[in-house]
Structure 1
Amino acid sequence: MAEHTESDDAPSQQILRFQAQARHSGDRLDAVLASFLADAPDQDALSREHVKRLIKDGRVAVDGAVLTKPSARLLGGETLEVHLPRASDREQAEPVPGALDVRYEDEHLLVIDKPAGLTVHPAPSCSEPTLVNRLVARWPEMALLDRDRPGIVHRIDKDTSGLIVVARTNAARLKLSEAFSSRNVDKEYLALVHGVPDPPQGEVDAPIGRHPTVKVRMAVCAKGGRHALSEYRTLYADPEGRWALMAVVIHTGRTHQIRVHMDHIGHPLLGDPVYGPADAAATSLLNALPEALRPTRQMLHAWKIGFDHPITGERIELASRPHLDMRRLPLLLSRSVQRVIVTGVAGSGKTTAARLLSEAGSPGVSDPAPLFSADAAVAELYAPGGDGARYIAGRYGDRFTAPDGGVDKRALFQAMCEEPGLRREVEEAVHPMVGHMIAEFWCRHGRERFGVAEIPLFHEAGWRDDADVIVCVYCPETTRSTRLQETRGWSAHTVAAFDAWQLPQAAKVRGSDLVVDNGGDEEHLHKNIANLAGVLAWLRRNRMHRLRERFRRLMTPDT
């Protein structure tokens, strides 16, 4: 039974008295008191944490003796006396106006879409206004619910965005707090992580506790950690394996749970300053972006939540799209150089076509596109000290070594014409060297809109997967033979030898994505290259549009 009494000598207090029963023997003081307060007439229910603070502040007496230990055990039959400050005199959170994205509101509760960078409630380590300060500025009556955390029934990290449930009454707060603690609330997050998890979906069942040496970190602890269970699935995997978009359901609510669990399985969140990777390979993924576009917080968003209304029992399910910084990052990371290969048979004009395409550049960009030449790469390899020259000298001695230590290309060419086995051996050694140089070229220019690589034997080398667009420069047989004889002085025998080493022109055309006709004069070629540049720009725009739509669908909740 509860007795309500007004204090004569302390008008700023309200005194409540309760009689513990025999059934309360062995129960904790804070638990029994919270139960009494919840059932007291004309009295707002108080959270367990609020009751603990009352006890610690010396506002609770048991049989006339003040107790300050919430975990004190009762014998049964004691008289409990609580001195409550009147609501108007309680220390309250300071109202600070600020934007609030309210996704649900009634007289019992709110659901807010919290922006990243906003701390949920005041704390000694937080000097700036919090979500709580904005809440009490908009709904002043909420300040009476609690001194530090009015309405807060769960938290998300300061730099995590997304949905958070807030109680507007103590009755709703108690029911919601119980729902969260008993895991009757469905919570799903979106996360962008380093690497691609294998398998693409699974569970992380690993206890979490305070890091043994770093105070700001939590960690998976074999001993002393609290049970923590997360379930993840991959929504999108970067084709190059650099990053992935994940959906993560948490079945427990440990501090930094998703951040710790994803780090534990080797896939920390992008932008996470605490749990993110320190190795150069991983950090280069974000460092390659313009500084203004790099994430400044962990890429984590609470995008779905479902729970039973604490008063009506109605099921509430809400969802929120990630905020702009997280929505645009997958597109930024997916932007890569369009790798354009220009190939063709000898005398087709591919060198000139590649140069003109590079000079045409991108619409609105004055600088030429990066240009790679396989012939120039081979010349570099065959120069004195080059890897190709060292291989030739090591394999064939002085037979093809020029006086300067480089490769005698004329002698080597003659031998390759006469000895098919030697030609294949040289090609098998040199082609991987050129392939490595091409890969380095694309890597150096990875943030460009497109690059051009002129590679005569591209089809023959089997590099189809290392290109985005293959362009074959076509020239009628009689025209190209005439050009080779007039410009290079090649005999019919030399032309035939070169042609024998590579696929026929018709096969190169069939194996390419686009074809440029170079059977006319220079003006004709310029016009065709301009048209080609326009087609390539359209392909780039179309690719980004398809990616943008794909990410939009993935990040738009179906609830």
Structure 2
Amino acid sequence: MSEELDIPEEGTESLYERRAFVIDKGQEPLRIDKYIQMHLEGSTRNKVQNGIDAGFVTVNGKTVKSNYKVKPGDEIILLSLVNPEHTVLKRENIPLDIVYEDDTVMVINKPANMVVHPGVGNFSGTLLNGVAYYLEKQNPGLDEDSLPRFGLVHRIDKNTTGLIVLAKTADAAAHLAKQFFHHDVKRKYTALVWGDMEQDEGTVTGHIARHRQYRKMFDVYPDGETGKHAITHYRTLERFHYVSLVECVLETGRTHQIRVHMKHIGHTLFNDWEYGGDRILKGTIYTKYKQFVDNCFELCPRCALHAQTLGFIHPVTKKEMLFESPLPADMAMVIVKWRNYIANRKEL
């Protein structure tokens, strides 16, 4: 048997994980596509060959062809799709806010209440369902396996709005996936959080792993104990005494990273029901204040988080691409309400 190395995933927002194998001394010469198919659960020969052709597989640091024969001592590094929960992608005519598109990539402004890709409980109505429909109109007979395998290289939460990039070719997906792994992608988020930020700017560092009690949540753990290394840089944009508007820049990309890191430092995201932000965490006990906050919750009935800036190197032109998405209406209205509320307060 070969030895499988434990290489930490470098971005849970990425839909790809990195795995590595070292071929043992007793391995007979074997085509690499067959070897990977044997060691990657749920894979098919066609998918493996497509991945090799796209540069998702390296041997001793170099890309190879599908007919390469592994030999003892070879180190194989493989980028594989994380938890492919669906096999058939249902094409659906879903309106898409396409910010940019060319032959290799497309950037979409995702609305709230939309899951990025199909999975358990969400096999329809996702962003990828809409993209599949849209791309099939451009390319009739689109391969069933191509889009789920190569289209997505990262994701954002269901109730997070903002920018997401998708690859239209396997080569583009490989190029973008490597940028996410190496933290070369620029990602800037805007969030409304509970409390008056203690500092104008700062950095939150803390390993993130699944919550020990609530499996749908994540938590911060002491370095080295469990989880994966995560870094979030933040800057305070505006203060409303009871809540603050902040800008968050991801150095790493873990699941729920901003939500977990902000809660960790005592500033849970506004109306983030999974992490307790859907109740009054700062402010007065007066009925009018409670009514005001409830009105804000109704205006923005979701976690107040927006993926505002996305930058990457174009897979073909190699030019830097930078995109900005304005705040969605629900967040913008809530921010105006808080600004007016504080301005009209006689005493704070």
The TM-score, its normalising length taken from structure 2, stands at 0.71
Query: What is aligned with 1:243?
Result: 243
What is the CA–CA distance in structure 1 between the aligned matches of 2:318 and 2:298, rounded to whole Å? 44
Paired with 2:171 and 2:114, the residues of 1 have a C-alpha distance of: 26
Quick check: 1:319 aligned with 2:312? no
Query: 1:100-499 alignment to 2 at 5 Å?
Result: 100-140=96-136, 141=139, 144-146=144-146, 148=148, 150-222=150-222, 223-238=225-240, 241-277=241-277, 280-282=280-282, 287-288=291-292, 289-290=294-295, 293-336=298-341, 466=347
From the two aligned structures, give the one with the greater helix fraction: 1
Residue type at the aligned position of 2:319: E
**Other structure's SS at 2:261 match:** helix
- Tell me the distance in 2 between the aligned counterparts of 1:159 and 1:294: 14
Q: CA separation of 1:242/1:292 partners in 2, compared to 1, >3 Å: closer, same or farther?
A: closer
Letter in structure 2 aligned against 1:208:
I
Provide the residue aligned with 2:90 in structure 1: 94
Structure 1's 52 and 243: CA in aligned 2 closer, same or farther, altered over 3 A?
farther
The normalised TM-score by structure 1 is 0.45
* Structure 1 residue 169, shift from structure 2 partner: 0.5
Identity among equivalent pairs (%): 31
Matches within 5 A, 1:462-541: 466=347
Which amino acid in 2 is paired with 1:204?
V
Counterpart of 2:208, as a letter, is I
CA contact (8 A) 1:191 1:247 kept: yes
Task: Write out aligned runs for 1:42-121 (5 A).
Answer: 55-57=40-42, 59=44, 75-76=71-72, 91-121=87-117
Q: Contact conserved, 2:232 with 2:249, CA < 8 A, in 1?
A: yes
Asked whether the equivalents of residues 187 and 310 of structure 2 are also in contact (C-alpha less than 8 Å), the reply is: yes
- Structure 1 gaps, min length 5: 1-22, 38-50, 61-69, 79-89, 340-445, 447-464, 468-559
Identify if the C-alpha distance between structure 1 residues 332 and 338 changes in structure 2 by more than 3 Å, giving closer, same or farther.
Answer: closer
How far apart, CA to CA, are the structure 1 residues paired with 2:39 and 2:302?
37
Question: Which AA in structure 1 matches 2:333?
Answer: R
Count, aligned residues: 279
* Residue identity in the other structure for 2:168: R
Question: Once the two structures are superposed, what CA deviation does each residue of 1:320-369 show, in whole Å capped at 9, x if it has no partner?
Answer: 00110011111112333987xxxxxxxxxxxxxxxxxxxxxxxxxxxxxx
Task: Decide whether aligned partners of structure 1 residues 135 and 58 sit closer, same or farther in structure 2, where only a CA change above 3 A counts.
Answer: closer
Q: Is the 8 A contact 1:303 1:320 kept in 2?
A: yes
For residue 476 of structure 1, what is the aligned residue in structure 2? none
Contact 1:92 1:146 (8 Å CA) reproduced = no
Give 1:55 deviation, angstroms.
3.5
Distance (whole Å) between structure 2 residues aligned to residue 321 and residue 253 of structure 1:
22
Q: CA deviation at 1:76?
A: 3.4
Cα root mean square deviation, aligned = 3.4
- Alpha-carbon deviation of 1:59? 4.2
Greater gyration radius:
1
Q: Which moves more between the two structures, 292-301 or 175-184?
A: 292-301
Ranked by relative contact order (alpha carbons within 8 Å, sequence separation 6 or more), the top structure is: 2
